[in-house]
């Protein structure tokens, strides 16, 4: 069986064809660097995704601060993680790099601020 993947590791977005026989990956083509094959193997065994979203900020010059995860988490936990993040709120000032939640859903992945928001003056 051939499965198609679009590698999301870098902006090249290589289209990768993976040949899988009896659940075993037998060949990979279409990738232009070794990360593509590693991506396919990860997708077949333990697919993971990152999240970039925003969190409400009280008393800030902006109403929202952008955040992301420090490491990708299992794909099937993305909705639960979004719910958890949606429940967070911050009070300005917040600084890029601030950890606002450690170990989301028990994973080795923290929620960090990616854009600073100053306190409203
Ligand atoms: S295979 Fe390599 S070059 Fe292609 S999208 Fe993945 S990481 Fe980028």
pLDDT tens digits along 53-111? 999 999 999 999 999 999 999 999 999 999 999 999 999 999 999 999 999 999 999 99
Measured from the Cα of 33, ligand 1's closest atom is 2
User: Which structure tokens are listed for 77?
Assistant: 């936990």
Q: Specify whether the CB–CB gap between 47 and 75 falls below 8 A.
A: yes
Distance 16 CA to ligand 1 centre (A): 9
pTM of the model: 0.83
Q: Return the residue whose CA atom lies nearest to atom 2 of ligand 1.
A: 33
Distance 33 CA to ligand 1 centre (A): 6
What does residue 64 show for φ and ψ, rounded to 5 degrees? -135, 150
Distance 12 CA to ligand 1 centre (A): 6
Q: Specify whether the CB–CB gap between 94 and 76 falls below 8 A.
A: no
**Sheet strand arrangement including 111-113:** 89-91, 52-58, 64-69, 111-113, 99-101
């Amino acid at each position: 069986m051939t499965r198609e993947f679009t590698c999301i590791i870098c902006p090249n977005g290589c289209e990768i064809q993976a040949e899988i026989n009896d659940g075993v990956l037998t060949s990979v083509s279409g990738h232009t660097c070794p990360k593509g094959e590693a991506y396919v193997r990860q997708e077949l065994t333990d697919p993971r995704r990152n999240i970039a979203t925003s969190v409400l900020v009280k008393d800030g010059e902006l109403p929202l601060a952008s955040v992301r995860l420090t490491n990708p988490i299992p794909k099937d936990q993305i909705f639960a993680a979004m719910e958890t993040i949606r429940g967070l709120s911050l009070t300005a000032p917040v600084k890029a790099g601030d950890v606002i939640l450690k170990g989301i859903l028990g994973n080795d992945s923290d929620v960090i601020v990616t854009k600073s928001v100053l306190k409203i003056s």
